């Protein structure tokens, strides 16, 4: 990476299709961002590991090369840590972490989340909640399996993740109807997020061409506020909130001061931040959980090896639950989770980045006016790093002594992003995935239903989900060793 601004003036942007007529530009705009993936793959094959595509009024740079990503996000982390202005229109003018510019407000909000919610001791304080959610999940799966030889599991996974994150957010065990209501408002916005984010690429044009879409966005925002705001208000009026044994996210937000602006957060901002917390913790995690379980069903030898490992660690106690404190002894379990995230990262891109000034990266200009993104899924399938990359082989992580998912030394895959904007929830997400996967296989045998199949085809929603959701035959697992 050369010195930024001085040399930047003399450089060209990365290659790409030189002339996209206005009409195809508008067609690109109408597509959701990730629907562009096949086109991007073709362009990478033609132009190399970094390309420029003009979408709307801005140049969008896409990097598929992991060493280049490392040079950008780690070596020059602060330069590449910004977000494009107005890109995430779902949140326009309202503060949240993922869409904030790299600056004091972002730092305050991110530090609050990291230290007040995601710090190890805070995560541990929600141990009982995780156990309660696990029991709920097991009960639901069991009762569904009694009447169904083929259980569709994603709805159970998603509902459980919502119960967990809603409790961490609002400190309350809400009834079924309320959880469903929150799930509804969160998901309807998420499922449309790609369509809405496109609005920000070229606002002056989209306000005319996509007027109805703008109106839909405002209506969904109102719907979300109507559901979340009463929970926030109830919490702010609770006299004894500091005496509770767990501190929910909303309490930390109600107490927070933005240092530069010397003010507290508005209700609207707290709604957005709670909503971001719920989205981050539920959608990505339940998507990842479904992919991992699908592979355990498709490849029974991986499931058997995992169960055997658990049996070695906890089996002699004939216990029903794999406890959190046992997870660190289960290296194959961790390898299964990593392999799931490599082979099926829930996000095939990160949230778009921007540079804080014109920068030269590997002799190319990266302009401040553009956006930069990274092809996460492509990196996890790079045959130079991963032998037989399409195969699901958790063993490959067993040789990697303490695999570094943060990519600080070297990027081999980046399902959580890397650098300043790395997902702050990655440790919590790994804990949730390990805890649920271990307990799901420890309590049940997971099999392909009679005449069924596990189809690993993908479909783009907010995350990349299974096109044909996983259906399984579930039966109670005998805890006795087969050895």
Indicate the annotated binding residues for heme: 423
Restricted to residues 348-367, the positions that interact with ligand HEM (CB under 6 A) are 350-351
Among 68, 392, 415, 454, binds ligand HEM (CB under 6 A): 415
Residues β-bridged to residue 253: none
Instruction: Check if the beta carbon of residue 56 is closer than 8 Å to that of residue 33.
Output: no
Torsion sign (Cα): 342, 345, 348, 354: negative
Tell me whether residue 200 or residue 347 sits nearer to ligand HEM (CB atom).
Answer: 347
Q: Is 475 helix (H, G, I), strand (E, B) or coil?
A: strand
Torsion sign (Cα): 415, 420, 423, 424: positive
**Which range of residues in 119-127, 132-140, 277-285, 329-337 is near ligand HEM by CB under 6 A?**
277-285
Q: Is 230 helix (H, G, I), strand (E, B) or coil?
A: helix
- Does 91 sit near ligand HEM (CB under 6 A)? no
Min. distance of Cβ 109 from ligand HEM in angstroms?
Answer: 8
- Does 288 sit near ligand HEM (CB under 6 A)? yes
- Does 71 sit near ligand HEM (CB under 6 A)? no
Torsion sign (Cα): 32, 38, 41, 42: negative
Tell me whether residue 202 or residue 349 sits nearer to ligand HEM (CB atom).
Answer: 349
| C-alpha distance from residue 63 to each of 41, 52, 104, 359 (Å) | 11, 9, 28, 15
- Does 371 sit near ligand HEM (CB under 6 A)? no
**Which range of residues in 21-29, 170-178, 278-286, 401-409 is near ligand HEM by CB under 6 A?**
278-286
- Does 84 sit near ligand HEM (CB under 6 A)? no
- Does 434 sit near ligand HEM (CB under 6 A)? no
Torsion sign (Cα): 83, 89, 92, 98: negative
| C-alpha distance from residue 203 to each of 89, 93, 100, 117, 443 (Å) | 9, 14, 18, 35, 51
CB atoms within 10 A of CB 477: 14
Tell me whether residue 379 or residue 441 sits nearer to ligand HEM (CB atom).
Answer: 379
- Does 277 sit near ligand HEM (CB under 6 A)? yes
320: left (phi over 0), alpha (psi -120 to 50) or beta: alpha
Instruction: Check if the beta carbon of residue 124 is closer than 8 Å to that of residue 134.
Output: no
Q: What are 105's two structure tokens? A: 């407000």
Residue nearest to ligand HEM (CB): 425
Among 29, 64, 97, 228, binds ligand HEM (CB under 6 A): 97
- Does 416 sit near ligand HEM (CB under 6 A)? yes
Number of residues located near ligand HEM, criterion CB under 6 A: 23
Restricted to residues 324-353, the positions that interact with ligand HEM (CB under 6 A) are 346-347, 350-351
Among 14, 84, 281, 370, binds ligand HEM (CB under 6 A): 281
361: left (phi over 0), alpha (psi -120 to 50) or beta: beta
Tell me whether residue 283 or residue 313 sits nearer to ligand HEM (CB atom).
Answer: 283
Cα–Cα dist 356/337, whole Å: 35
Restricted to residues 173-212, the positions that interact with ligand HEM (CB under 6 A) are none
Tell me whether residue 277 or residue 386 sits nearer to ligand HEM (CB atom).
Answer: 277
- Does 370 sit near ligand HEM (CB under 6 A)? no
- Does 273 sit near ligand HEM (CB under 6 A)? no
Return binding residues: 423
Tell me whether residue 197 or residue 285 sits nearer to ligand HEM (CB atom).
Answer: 285
Among 110, 178, 213, 241, binds ligand HEM (CB under 6 A): 110
50 — phi, psi (to 5°)?
A: -135, 130
- Does 464 sit near ligand HEM (CB under 6 A)? no
Cα–Cα dist 459/387, whole Å: 25
- Does 280 sit near ligand HEM (CB under 6 A)? yes
- Does 285 sit near ligand HEM (CB under 6 A)? yes
Tokens 């490392």 belong to 70
Radius of gyration of the CA atoms of the chain, in A: 23
Tell me whether residue 4 or residue 425 sits nearer to ligand HEM (CB atom).
Answer: 425
Cα–Cα dist 56/52, whole Å: 13
Residue 269, classified by CB atoms within 10 Å of its CB into exposed (0-12), middle (13-18) or buried (19+), is buried
The span from the first CA to the last CA of the chain, in angstroms, equals 56
- Does 16 sit near ligand HEM (CB under 6 A)? no
**Which range of residues in 30-38, 281-289, 315-323, 448-456 is near ligand HEM by CB under 6 A?**
281-289
Tell me whether residue 217 or residue 350 sits nearer to ligand HEM (CB atom).
Answer: 350
Cα–Cα dist 340/338, whole Å: 5
- Does 4 sit near ligand HEM (CB under 6 A)? no
Binding site for ligand HEM (CB under 6 A): 97-98, 110, 276-277, 280-281, 284-285, 288, 346-347, 350-351, 415-417, 421, 423-425, 428-429
């Amino acid at each position: 990476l050369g010195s930024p601004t001085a040399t930047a003036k003399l450089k060209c942007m990365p290659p790409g299709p030189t002339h996209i007529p206005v009409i195809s530009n508008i067609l690109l705009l109408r597509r959701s961002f990730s629907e562009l993936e096949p086109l991007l793959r073709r362009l990478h094959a033609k132009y190399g590991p970094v390309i420029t595509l003009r979408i709307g009024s801005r140049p969008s740079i896409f990097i598929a090369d992991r060493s280049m990503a490392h040079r950008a996000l780690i070596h020059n982390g602060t330069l590449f840590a910004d977000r494009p202005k107005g890109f995430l229109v779902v949140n326009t003018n309202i503060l949240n972490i993922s869409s904030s510019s790299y600056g004091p407000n972002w730092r305050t909000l991110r530090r609050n989340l990291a230290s007040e919610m995601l710090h190890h001791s805070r995560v541990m304080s929600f141990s009982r909640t995780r156990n309660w959610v696990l029991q709920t999940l097991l009960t639901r799966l069991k009762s569904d399996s009694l009447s169904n030889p083929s259980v569709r599991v994603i709805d159970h996974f998603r509902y459980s993740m919502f119960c967990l994150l809603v409790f961490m957010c609002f400190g309350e065990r809400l009834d079924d109807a309320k959880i469903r209501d929150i799930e509804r408002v969160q998901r309807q916005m998420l499922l449309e997020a790609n369509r809405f984010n496109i609005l920000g690429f070229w606002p002056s044009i989209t306000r005319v061409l996509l007027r109805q879409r703008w109106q839909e966005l405002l209506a969904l925002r109102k719907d979300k506020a109507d559901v979340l705001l009463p929970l926030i208000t109830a919490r702010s009026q609770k006299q004894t909130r500091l005496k509770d044994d767990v501190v929910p996210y909303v309490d930390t937000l109600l107490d927070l001061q933005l240092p530069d602006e010397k003010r507290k957060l508005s209700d609207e901002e707290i709604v957005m931040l709670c909503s971001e917390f719920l989205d981050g913790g539920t959608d990505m995690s339940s998507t990842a959980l479904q992919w991992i379980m699908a592979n355990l069903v498709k490849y029974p030898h991986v499931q058997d090896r995992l169960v055997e490992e658990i049996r070695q660690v906890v089996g002699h106690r004939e216990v029903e639950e794999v406890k959190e404190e046992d997870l660190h002894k289960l290296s194959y379990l961790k390898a299964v989770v990593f392999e799931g995230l490599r082979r099926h990262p829930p996000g095939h891109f990160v949230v778009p980045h921007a540079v804080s000034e014109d920068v030269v990266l590997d002799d190319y200009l990266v302009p401040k006016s553009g956006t930069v993104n990274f092809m996460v899924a492509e990196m996890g399938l790079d045959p130079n790093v991963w032998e037989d990359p399409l195969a699901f082989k958790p063993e490959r992580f067993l040789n990697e002594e303490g695999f570094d998912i943060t990519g600080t030394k070297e990027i081999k895959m980046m399902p959580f992003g890397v650098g300043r904007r790395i997902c702050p929830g990655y440790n919590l997400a790994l804990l949730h995935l390990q805890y649920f996967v271990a307990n799901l296989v420890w309590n049940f045998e997971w099999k392909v239903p009679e005449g069924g199949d596990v189809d690993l085809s993908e479909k783009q929603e907010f995350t990349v989900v299974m096109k044909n959701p996983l259906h399984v035959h579930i039966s109670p697992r005998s805890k006795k060793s087969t050895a």
